[in-house]
Amino acid sequence: MFRFFKNRKDSNMKLIVGLGNPGREYVNTRHNAGFYVVEKLAYELGEDITERKYKGLFAKVRIGNEKAILLEPQTYMNNSGESVRAFMDYFKIEAKDVIVVYDDINLEPGNLRIRLKGSAGGHNGIKSLIAHMGTSDFPRVKMGVGEKPARMDLADHVLGHFNDEDKKKLDEAASHAIEAIKLMVDGQYDTAMNKYNVKKTK
């Protein structure tokens, strides 16, 4: 089924990265919004993210007519770039063909923001990717997880779980993120941004 992956050099291949932390204790935490989206996408495509390579779990898929790899780095968030860089090198994937999905505390739960490049904005996973990729010019889909409450430690907030209301918003946002990713894989970046970007962040 995946005979086309035997040729590693393929300029059309996309790498779709969900950021998060491995381990049962981190399932459904705010920081694992990226994992949640790529797992939901894999399920929709009838695949499981279970293959192991280069400190990551991955699945080989087709999205429309395009070849893609869904990746969950297993290095913990702060070292995500190690796995991503290794996959890029092995499959000869350029930064412009890497789509990263991750949590953003500056967006309310349920909101998305799609960008083609940008700074890390204080996100340690993105800092690691930029350091290992050598560029900040890669597309990303930011998943709103909400601002931390006053006097709460940031780590406690992002490693905390969604309440029932916010979980429903995440589910809806994840569905929108998947549709946005499909458009981006097809090269329709402007359409994805126009359709799914929120107009305002906190």
Strands 56-63 and 51-53: antiparallel
Q: Is 26 annotated to bind ligand?
A: yes
Q: Which residues pair with 18 in a beta bridge?
A: 101
31, 123, 132, 157: which one is catalytic?
31
Q: Is 76 annotated to bind ligand?
A: yes
Q: Are 76 and 22 in contact (CB under 8 A)?
A: yes
Q: Is 78 annotated to bind ligand?
A: yes
Nearest residue to 30 via CA among 149, 144, 175, 179? 144
Give the C-alpha separation, 56 to 41, whole Å: 17
Q: Map residue 33 onto helix, strand or coil.
A: helix
Nearest residue to 37 via CA among 100, 117, 114, 126? 100
Active site residue 31: yes
For tokens 């905390």, name the residue. Answer: 160
Active site residues: 31
Binding residues for tRNA are: 26, 76, 78, 124
Binding residues are: 26, 76, 78, 124
